[in-house]
């Protein structure tokens, strides 16, 4: 919205009162005129067939697949699927590639398929050829189907759901890469009303072209009505909206892989392992398909970047990739590359031995928090239950606390969630804390009282032995497996790996039965039915474990 008496000035609305006044004037204006309708015809060309990075990005955004899952499925499609003839058929070309090159026979086959399935207007006069990025290795083609006769619908019954989904986008992306441009009319409309000029831009698809095979998301496109200059549209309503500058969004699998490719980090075979590694080492966690740094990740990053600035930076990583290519091509000697790296790295390593503690102090100094018990400095620590705040005067002061990070990255001591349950030892209220195995109840008078107990989930089922309430529990040993027990423990010691079925055993009279993947069985190890099943090889005591 712009005052119409100037072409350059765009009014900045500073307050809500100012916005309300403009809204009042706009709503009170009786006449609006369409002063300009500008149309510009544009074309959009298809993207090249998939390479490793773009396949992982598209599978992430369209199918919600992680990079690791995408590559595992693609590996199966490459190795071959039995299509009913008793032998495996490889459905796609090699899936670890950064080349967009396609064999001429495959291009011709795609063009024949386009003409047959979509018609001649979808087929450009000449085949399309795509230029690979600098440094790409053309030993392999782009990722494409091995045979155009094996369209996704015709072989769907031989594929798992995830195999079909991935093969489908590979097939359609390759077909689309040889199709005609999509054509749009981009329209800009200007409407004057009183002292204000309103402008909006939208587009209309005139010809779908390649998008007939591989549609692109156009949910955010603005579709404008057909208007002409001089028209006097009626104002239906005017609304106000406040917009804030948004920070860069968190990385997803797709955007992180795109960034790795853009910055020259890694190779097609390493994109998925890189993402998997930072998750498995607990440097990041995935929440709602987006990556968030963990406290361990933050700490390790600051510590290593501070100690090894020459090595831990994007430019160094990309430079090493170029050096490795030069060695492979015979343009440089590997001993020279290793010598150059080792000289710098050994210097950084010697320096780090003396500065690592100082860097750690700098990281903890950013917390600027004091111990509420003794007034000492609080520092970041890591234990079996994860990161926590502890007093720097430990062991003289044993204060510890969980913490949370605010939106601006600062740290706040986490206040335990209060409950209405009381401590069995001292009668004080219990609070919810987070430990190695999740949430648990602890006495609010800790450390004076160290009483704790598990948080149990009550179930809508009764104990088959005493009629008490069944609850969900976790074992304290081994892998912390879930089991079902009685609320009246230790008076009633009922425990089961699965929910009991409320029916008795016809062979031994056990008051309940159990069910696992292999069927219904009796929990009584001395039951005759279990003995007969063992003899037949149909059951074992493993069901009870």
Provide the strand spans (E) within 342-456: 378-383, 386-391, 400-401, 403-405, 411-413, 417-422, 429-435, 438-443, 452-454
CB contact burial 373-387 (16+ within 10 A = b; e otherwise):
eeebbbbbbeeeeee
Identify the sign of the CA torsion 252, 254, 256, 259.
negative
- The angle subtended at Cα 180 by Cα 174 and Cα 182, nearest 5°, is 105
Quote helix, strand, coil % in the chain, to nearest 5: 30, 25, 45
Sequence-distant (6+) residues with CB within 8 A of 84 are 158
Sequence-distant (6+) residues with CB within 8 A of 541 are 525
**Cβ atoms of 91 and 145 closer than 8 Å:** yes
Characterize the bridge pairing of strands 514-516 and 519-521. Answer: antiparallel
Sequence-distant (6+) residues with CB within 8 A of 527 are 505, 507, 508, 510
395: preceding bond cis by omega (within 30 degrees) = yes
Sequence-distant (6+) residues with CB within 8 A of 391 are 371, 373, 374, 376, 377, 378, 379, 397, 398, 399, 400
Provide the strand spans (E) within 308-368: none
The single residue of 9, 94, 474, 489 carrying the catalytic annotation is 94
**Cβ atoms of 452 and 443 closer than 8 Å:** yes
Sequence-distant (6+) residues with CB within 8 A of 30 are none
Tell me the two tokens of residue 12.
């900045």
Sequence-distant (6+) residues with CB within 8 A of 501 are 512, 513, 514, 515, 520
The helix (run of H) or strand (run of E) holding residue 17 is helix 16-28
Query: Which is nearest to 462 in space by CA: 438, 486, 427, 429?
Result: 486
| Separation of alpha carbons 178 and 210, rounded Å | 8
Question: What are the strands of the beta sheet with 469-474, ordered from one edge?
Answer: 457-462, 469-474, 482-486, 495-496
The helix (run of H) or strand (run of E) holding residue 336 is helix 334-365
Q: Is 94 a catalytic residue?
A: yes
Sequence-distant (6+) residues with CB within 8 A of 114 are 122, 123, 175, 178, 179, 213
Partners of 168 in the β-ladder: none
Q: Which residues are catalytic?
A: 94
């Amino acid at each position: 919205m712009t005052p119409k008496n100037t072409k350059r000035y765009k009014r900045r609305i500073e307050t809500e009162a100012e916005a309300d006044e403009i809204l009042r004037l706009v709503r009170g204006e009786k006449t609006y005129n369409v002063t300009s309708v500008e149309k510009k015809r544009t074309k959009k060309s298809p993207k090249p067939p998939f390479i490793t990075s773009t396949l992982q990005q598209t599978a992430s955004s369209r199918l919600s697949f992680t990079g690791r899952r995408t590559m595992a499925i693609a590996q199966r499609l490459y190795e071959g699927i039995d299509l009913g003839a008793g032998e495996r058929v490889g459905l796609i070309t090699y899936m670890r590639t950064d080349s967009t090159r396609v064999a001429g026979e495959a291009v011709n086959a795609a063009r024949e398929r386009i003409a047959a399935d979509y018609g001649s207007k979808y087929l450009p006069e000449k085949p399309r050829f795509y230029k690979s990025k600098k440094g790409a290795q053309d030993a392999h083609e782009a990722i494409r189907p091995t045979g155009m006769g094996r369209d996704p619908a015709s072989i769907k019954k031989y594929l798992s759901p995830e195999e079909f989904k991935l093969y489908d986008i590979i097939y359609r992306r390759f077909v689309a890469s040889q199709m005609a441009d999509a054509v749009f009319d981009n329209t800009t409309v200007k409407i004057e009303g009183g002292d204000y000029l309103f402008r909006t831009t939208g587009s209309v698809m005139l010809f779908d072209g390649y998008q007939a095979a591989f549609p692109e998301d156009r949910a955010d496109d603005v579709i404008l009505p057909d208007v002409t200059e001089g028209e006097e549209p009626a104002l239906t309503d005017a609304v106000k909206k406040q917009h804030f500058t948004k920070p860069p969004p968190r990385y997803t699998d797709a955007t992180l892989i795109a960034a790795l490719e853009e910055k020259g980090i890694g190779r097609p075979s390493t994109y998925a392992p890189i993402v998997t590694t930072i998750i498995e080492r607990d440097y990041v966690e995935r929440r709602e398909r987006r990556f968030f740094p963990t406290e361990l990740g933050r700490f390790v990053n600051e510590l290593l970047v501070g100690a090894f600035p020459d090595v831990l930076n994007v430019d160094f990583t990309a430079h090493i990739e170029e050096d490795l290519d030069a060695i492979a091509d015979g343009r440089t000697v590997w001993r020279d590359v290793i010598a150059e790296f080792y000289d710098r790295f050994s210097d950084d390593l010697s320096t780090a031995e003396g500065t690592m503690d100082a860097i750690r102090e700098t990281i903890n100094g950013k917390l600027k928090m004091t111990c509420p018990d003794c007034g000492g400095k609080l520092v970041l620590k890591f234990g079996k239950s994860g990161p926590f705040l502890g007093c720097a005067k430990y062991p003289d002061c044993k204060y510890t606390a969980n913490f949370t990070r605010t939106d601006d990255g600062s740290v706040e001591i986490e206040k335990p969630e209060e409950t209405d349950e009381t401590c069995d030892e001292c009668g004080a209220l219990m609070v919810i804390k987070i430990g190695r195995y999740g949430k648990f109840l602890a006495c609010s008078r800790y450390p004076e009282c160290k009483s704790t107990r598990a948080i149990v989930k009550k179930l809508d089922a009764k104990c088959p032995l005493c009629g008490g309430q069944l609850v969900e529990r976790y074992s304290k040993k081994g892998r912390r497996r879930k089991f079902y027990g009685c609320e009246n423990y230790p008076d009633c010691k009922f425990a089961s790996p699965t929910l009991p079925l409320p029916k008795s055993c016809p062979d031994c009279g056990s008051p309940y039965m159990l069910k696992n993947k292999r069927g219904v069985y009796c929990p009584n190890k001395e039951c005759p039915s279990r003995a007969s099943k063992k003899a037949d090889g149909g059951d074992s005591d493993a069901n009870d474990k």
